Amino acid sequence: MVEKKDILNLDKFSIKEINDLMNMADSFTEILKRDVKKVPVLRGKTIINLFFEPSTRTKVSFEIAAKRLSADLINFSPNLSSLKKGESEIDTLKTINAMKIDLVIIRHSDSGYINYFAKNIPVPVINAGDGKHEHPTQALLDLYTIYKNFSKLEGLKVAIVGDILNSRVARSDIKLFNKMGLDVKVVAPSMLIPQNFSCFNAKIHSNIEEVISEADVLYMLRMQFERQDKKFYPSTKEYNEFLSLNLSRLNKMKKDSIIMHPGPVNRGIEISDEVMEMQEIVKDKIKINTQVANGVAVRMAVLYYALS
């Protein structure tokens, strides 16, 4: 039997395979510009969206991606399911599996749960957000967004700012960016840096001012309040002083540099209201909506990869 193609993280993907996925995303980007934004390549395949944790963009993005490829997608809402009657999650999964699904997209707040899940189901599983661990499709769409903007990757300077401790986006991004030859720095106070962070190849700064003028990509992370069981930061005021992007810092950025954020933005915390309101005016600089748009093409590539 051929090994099923789970995408739980991107560790086993070679540089060439990552580039292949991005080329494929390019082809899908072209399809998304057509009048008929749909190709029949996954016709007859059934995909289930299993989100045990809230999501807007990732869930909808996967749903659009699946439909653009002509697959049938079913949204599973744990809150309206037999889980509420006390069925265990693993039994729920076996029930779903009995219905002959071809692929499962899953998000769960317990780190590592998705790996356990993937081991117990014979069809490919795509990680759409694994607790504090990994978010591989976000990392791919971030990389693709950077590549489309600069037409290169090697040597670009990326500064990832904010809640590194609780962010699966940060972990997946740092690993993928390093693999692809980008130079990654993180900006966070020590209480928002995970233990054993030295295993990641990224220099730590504590003040955004230290990196603002040299970064090609300023990657603002969302404060993960839902994952913070204690208060990690004394006050919004202090966060603003050391970590936030505001108008005066925007002006210090390199010409041609870009700003990214995985969304949803906590306005007034990671990014000030004023800067958010400038999105339309400086759309060459603020790439948050481009990330969302690219997400569909990248997820089409991922689904195509996993099912072909």
Partner 1 sequence: MREKATVLNADDIERIIKRISHEIVERNKGSENLIFIGIQKKGVPLAKRIKESIEKITNSEIKLGKLDISFYRDDVNEKIKSDVNITDIPFEIKGKDIILVDDVLFTGRTIRAAMDAIMDFGRPQSIQLVVLIDRGHRELPIRADYVGKNLPTSLNEFVEVKLSETDNEDKVTICWI
Q: Which among 16, 33, 85, 230 is annotated as catalytic?
A: 85
Q: Which among 68, 135, 171, 175 is annotated as catalytic?
A: 135
Does the annotation count 57 as an active-site position?
A: yes
Are residues 246 and 272 in contact, defined by beta-carbon separation less than 8 angstroms?
A: yes
Contact positions vs partner 1 (CB under 8 A): 17, 20, 23-24, 26-27, 30-31, 34-36, 38-42, 69, 304-305, 307-308
Q: Token pair of 151, please?
A: 């037409």
Name which of 93 and 303 has its Cβ closer to partner 1.
303
Name which of 5 and 249 has its Cβ closer to partner 1.
5
Name which of 42 and 221 has its Cβ closer to partner 1.
42
Q: Report the amino acid identity of residue 252.
A: K
Query: Among residues 207, 204, 165, which one has the least CA distance to residue 184?
Result: 204
Name which of 34 and 230 has its Cβ closer to partner 1.
34
Residues whose CB is less than 8 angstroms from the CB of residue 123 and which lie 6 or more positions away in sequence, other chains included:
4, 97, 101, 102, 103, 104
Q: Which among 5, 57, 67, 205 is annotated as catalytic?
A: 57
Q: Which among 29, 58, 145, 290 is annotated as catalytic?
A: 58
Name which of 31 and 276 has its Cβ closer to partner 1.
31
Name which of 79 and 308 has its Cβ closer to partner 1.
308
Cα separation, 43 vs 276, whole angstroms: 40
Cα separation, 167 vs 187, whole angstroms: 13
Cα separation, 186 vs 198, whole angstroms: 12
Q: Which among 45, 59, 68, 107 is annotated as catalytic?
A: 107
Cα separation, 43 vs 306, whole angstroms: 14
Cα separation, 83 vs 62, whole angstroms: 23
Rounded to a whole number of angstroms, the minimum distance from the CB of residue 45 to partner 1 is 10
Does the annotation count 58 as an active-site position?
A: yes
Rounded to a whole number of angstroms, the minimum distance from the CB of residue 58 to partner 1 is 23
Active site residues: 57-58, 85, 107, 135
